[in-house]
């Protein structure tokens, strides 16, 4: 196995080392002469985290971050019983040049290591919240975190949260937004980390890897021609918008024609998950872009699905997910209206659902909004209705009847006509409430 180079960067040791491990390395050791401690990563299955360096060249990693560090330490048999816990990271570590002779070695895993009890030191959630620690970023030919400038197009409701997580993780961004004030606000929050460009073409020209998060199909159609014109060989586009599969395929083809590369990466999640780095990415497209962006996608999300090189499959999955979500929320909205029509408290309905089998994050998040009739936009209703429409079009393509989704789409259309388009999609409840008032 060839030696892989690591360089010290910011801000968290755990994040990058574990990311490196999840890409399939068998064992990686950072010598203690580099930062005053040794880090060992042994990968037998996915999602193992770096944890301990033991005597005699033995190394162990962890699989289950919920297992207590002390509960298994004394039960381990020789030679693993000689393992000693080490600090996970140390503040104020000195940078290490990629050309340094003290680069990590790739070692063979100890025989039978993966059959021994595994120890946990820290959960991923807590590690991602850590502040001020040194991090490692992989600099390999196989990718994982692209080098060079990174561009971000669109910092609205979703794009802002995504960009914030990249910036907090140490990325510097070239940013363009149709409303320049939003980009300038981001630059004020991260002085020296955000460069606001005068045009979308400038982002593309100065960046190697470009993320795009535009809110609508119309916005994409308005902006993409400028992106395409500025594309040159080797540029990489990751489009995170929710568009039709046909639109994504068109952009991928146009990008490839310019000898650039394209990955569709629509997200499941709204404003809160975007800000918390808890998005779900549904990707398809160029494998090189997938590898180059995977580190960033891990920072911005909790899971990335890859559906192969056929662009459009990620968007189709997104439509299916959002169709189910839209129908579920509309069913809840109709239940609220029906309960209220019979004088039953909506709060009691909410509590009943929370305590039963139908409890879900959707109920917990949107129930209070429906009861209070206050709908600050986490996912605008007009966008939810757009996705319902796209899903119905998919059904038409294959002759599949989607009656529940079709009926829900009509309710979202009514709510839009009532002026709730820019509100959160929980405002679909107002369409059912209006019908109840008409019939009372």
- The residues carrying an active-site annotation are 318
The torsion defined by the Cα of 270, 364, 361 and 407, in degrees rounded to 10, comes to: -80
Considering Cα of 161, then 164, then 166, then 169, what sign does the dihedral take? Answer: negative
- Locate tokens 């630059």: which residue? 187
Vertex 279: Cα angle to 88 and 317 (nearest 5): 135
Could you tell me which of 324, 4, 302 has the C-alpha nearest to residue 136?
4
Alpha-carbon gap, residue 237 to 200, rounded angstroms: 13
Coil, strand, or helix at residue 350?
helix
Secondary structure (DSSP) of 294-312: HHHHHHHEEEEEE--S-TT
Check whether the bond before 79 is cis (ω within 30° of 0): yes
Coil, strand, or helix at residue 54?
strand
Q: In degrees rounded to 5, what are phi and psi of residue 103?
A: -85, 155
Burial 286-299 (b: 16+ CB within 10 A, else e): beebbbbbbbbbbb
Could you tell me which of 20, 7, 71, 69 has the C-alpha nearest to residue 49?
20
Q: What does the block give as tokens for 115?
A: 């059959």
Task: Provide CB contacts within 8 A for 141, sequence distance 6+.
Answer: none
DSSP bridge pairs for 28? 41, 106
Report whether 400 contacts 316 (CB < 8 A): no
3-state DSSP percent of the chain in helix, strand and coil, to 5: 50, 15, 35
Q: What does the block give as tokens for 47?
A: 């999602």
Considering Cα of 34, then 37, then 43, then 46, what sign does the dihedral take? Answer: negative
């Amino acid at each position: 196995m060839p030696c892989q180079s690591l360089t010290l960067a910011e801000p968290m040791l755990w994040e990058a080392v574990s990311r490196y491990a999840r890409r399939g390395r068998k064992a990686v050791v950072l010598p203690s002469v580099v930062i005053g401690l040794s880090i060992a990563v042994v990968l037998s299955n996915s999602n193992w985290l770096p944890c301990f360096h033991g005597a005699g060249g033995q190394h162990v990693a962890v699989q289950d971050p919920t297992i207590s560090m002390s509960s298994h330490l004394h039960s381990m048999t020789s030679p693993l019983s000689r393992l000693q816990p080490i600090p996970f990271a140390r503040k104020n570590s000195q940078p290490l040049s990629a050309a340094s002779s003290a680069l990590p070695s790739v070692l063979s895993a100890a025989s039978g290591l993966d059959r021994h009890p595994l120890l946990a030191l820290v959960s991923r959630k807590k590690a991602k919240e850590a502040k001020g620690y040194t991090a490692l970023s992989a600099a390999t030919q196989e990718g994982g975190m692209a080098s060079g400038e990174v561009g971000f197009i669109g910092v609205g409701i979703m794009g802002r949260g995504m960009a914030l997580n990249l910036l907090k993780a140490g990325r510097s961004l070239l940013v363009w937004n149709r409303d320049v004030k939003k980009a300038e606000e981001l630059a004020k929050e991260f002085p020296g980390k955000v460069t606001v460009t005068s045009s979308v073409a400038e982002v593309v020209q100065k960046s190697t890897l470009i993320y795009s998060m535009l809110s609508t199909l119309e916005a994409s159609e308005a902006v993409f021609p400028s992106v395409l014109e500025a594309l040159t060989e080797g540029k990489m586009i990751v489009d995170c918008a929710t568009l039709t599969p046909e639109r994504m395929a068109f952009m991928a083809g146009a990008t490839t024609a310019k000898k650039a590369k394209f990955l569709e990466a629509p997200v499941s999640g709204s404003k809160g998950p975007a800000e918390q780095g808890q998005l779900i990415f549904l990707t398809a497209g160029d494998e090189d872009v997938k590898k180059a962006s995977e580190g960033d996608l891990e920072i911005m999300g909790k899971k990335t699905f890859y559906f192969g090189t056929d662009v459009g499959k990620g968007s189709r999955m997104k439509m299916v997910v959002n169709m189910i979500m839209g129908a579920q929320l509309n069913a809840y909205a109709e239940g609220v209206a029906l309960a209220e029509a019979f004088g039953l408290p909506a709060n009691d309905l909410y509590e009943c659902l929370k305590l039963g089998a139908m409890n879900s994050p959707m109920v917990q998040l949107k129930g209070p909004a429906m009861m209070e009739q206050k709908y600050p936009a986490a996912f605008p209703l007009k966008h939810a209705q757009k996705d319902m429409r796209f899903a119905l079009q998919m059904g038409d393509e294959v002759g599949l009847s989607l009656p529940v989704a079709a009926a829900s789409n009509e309710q979202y259309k009514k709510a839009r006509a009532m002026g709730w388009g820019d509100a959160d999609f929980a405002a679909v409840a107002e369409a059912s409430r209006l019908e109840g008032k008409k019939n009372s």
